[in-house]
Amino acid sequence: MANLPKRGLMTALALFLVDQIIKWAVTGPMGLRALGDAREVLPIFDLRFVPNYGISLGLLTADSNISRWALVAMTGAIALAVGFWMTRERNPVDQVALGCVLGGALGNIIDRVRFGYVVDFADLHFYVDIPGVYVGIVRPFLVFNVADAAITIGVLVLLARALLVRDRPAPVEKSNA
């Protein structure tokens, strides 16, 4: 028990709970339950209900029960692999990053099991009006949720650390021979 990745597990649990509580608030008390239902929070941010039947960027859309459960199985296998990796990881930053990925994956898996889709609600957008060239609404991201953000942040941290950070090797003891 002493070797459990406590930081990673606590991160995963916290993100899972925050994700599920916000999804409940958006679809429950706030009443955003139908495609397109929205509530403006800030001029650049709306809460907007969007059922996501696929994975990132609308890939692998689960348009049947078989594909729905295949996505559950695939993301469940990934979550298990991330959980296993987390138990082997000794670097606390990587443990937290893996906790982000695990917590987000579990939040989206629960949605897909319960509803058949993932509840997306965060809509960041900007109105761009360039004189002479009207652009309109620009969305730098698709509508997303806390779980998606956690997965993205966790993966980016892992990639950045893998590509840019070199852990120092353990010091070599000098012998007095």
Decide if 37 is catalytic.
Answer: no
49 in Cβ contact with 26 (< 8 Å): yes
Residue 58 CA to residue 174 CA, distance in Å, equals: 57
CA–CA distance, 39 with 121 (Å, rounded to integer) = 10
d(CA 157, CA 120): 23
- Tallying the residues shown for the chain, one arrives at 177
Pick the catalytic residue from 120, 123, 129, 167.
120
**Is 120 noted as a catalytic residue in this protein?**
yes
Contact by Cβ (8 Å): 161, 167: no
List 19, 94, 111, 148, catalytic entry:
148
Query: What burial letters (b/e) apply to 133-166, b meaning 16+ CB within 10 Å?
Result: eeeeeeeeeebbbbbbbbbbbbeebbeeeeeeee
Catalytic residue positions, numbered: 120, 148
